[in-house]
Amino acid sequence: MLFARAACAVGAQALVAAVFALRASPTPWHDAEPWLPVYGTLIDAGCLVLLWRLTRREGIRLFDLVGFERSRLVRDVALGFGLVPASLVFILGGSYAAGWLLYGTLTPPYLFGHLSLPAALYAVLMFPFIWGLTEQMTYNGYLVPRFQVLCRSTSVAIAVVAFTWSLQHVFMPLTFDAKFMAFRLLSPVPFSVFATLVYLRLRRLVPLAIAHALMDGASVLIGVLLPLIRA
């Protein structure tokens, strides 16, 4: 599962690129890149299938990874909103630091590109919630506790999972631009460590998944949907 999301990302992007190739695009792989907020759900689907198989093998349910408690729902939702400002400190700090290190500017490259209106609506209304929950289930719900046991060290578990969590961004999308790929590797590291530490403190995914979805949704809303509406 450490590299499942990266592998699914390459496969999903290849599928979209094949569609562009069939439409006679001269640069199908590049044309597929902006569609990450749409084909990202294919990545999530692949990971959920793998998680389902692995949890079933352990004799637990996939939903057990979430640690959902109805009695805590209101508090978890409130905590999810509360985690957004702290999360943004680490996300923006990582982005600006990596941008300055690699590009010599505090204005790092923007990830998302132009999409059609239906795709942009899907990217804002559906993609963030499936993505946030699945990503948190993969790295925090499944991998961190198991690496704690395998490595007999919380510090090693955090280092392994947080680094791999950051590494997946190199393939989302896979651009073959060495500088941009390095930026995508380095910029998520602070937030990956922060999110892992928060999970180990809470042992509940709902607040983290809510915060994750809100931030991803806002990013796509500002960068993709609003420019379409204004145009």
User: Considering the domain boundaries, does residue 130 fall inside one?
Assistant: yes
- Choose the weakest-confidence range: 60-69, 177-186, 189-198: 60-69
What is the rounded CA–CA span in Å between residue 98 and residue 107? 10
Per-residue pLDDT reduced to its tens digit, 159-191: 999 999 999 999 999 999 999 999 999 999 999
Residue 109 pLDDT > 80 = no
Task: Give me the mean pLDDT over the 20-34 stretch.
Answer: 95
Residue 229 pLDDT > 90 = no
User: Considering the domain boundaries, does residue 216 fall inside one?
Assistant: yes
Q: What is the reported pLDDT for 231? A: 65
Q: Helices (DSSP H) in the chain: which residue ranges?
A: 4-22, 28-32, 36-58, 73-103, 117-125, 127-136, 144-151, 154-167, 178-186, 189-202, 206-220, 226-230
User: Considering the domain boundaries, does residue 75 fall inside one?
Assistant: yes
Cα-trace Rg, the chain: 18
In percent, how much of the chain has pLDDT > 90?
A: 87
What is the residue-averaged pLDDT of the chain? 94
Q: What is the reported pLDDT for 140? A: 97
User: Considering the domain boundaries, does residue 167 fall inside one?
Assistant: yes
Q: What is the reported pLDDT for 164? A: 97
User: Considering the domain boundaries, does residue 27 fall inside one?
Assistant: no
User: Considering the domain boundaries, does residue 210 fall inside one?
Assistant: yes
Buried b (16+ CB within 10 A) or exposed e, 33-49: bbbbbbbbbbbbebbbe
What is the rounded CA–CA span in Å between residue 68 and residue 73? 8
User: Considering the domain boundaries, does residue 5 fall inside one?
Assistant: no
Q: What is the reported pLDDT for 14? A: 98
User: Considering the domain boundaries, does residue 221 fall inside one?
Assistant: yes
Indicate the pTM of the whole model: 0.93
What is the rounded CA–CA span in Å between residue 45 and residue 62? 13
Q: What is the reported pLDDT for 97? A: 94
Residue 155 pLDDT > 90 = yes
Domain enclosing residue 187, as ranges? 69-230
Per-residue pLDDT reduced to its tens digit, 1-23: 999 999 999 999 999 999 999 99
What is the rounded CA–CA span in Å between residue 218 and residue 197? 24
Task: Give me the mean pLDDT over the 116-128 stretch.
Answer: 94
CB 129 within 8 A of CB 211: no
Number of domains in the chain: 1
Residue 210 pLDDT > 80 = yes
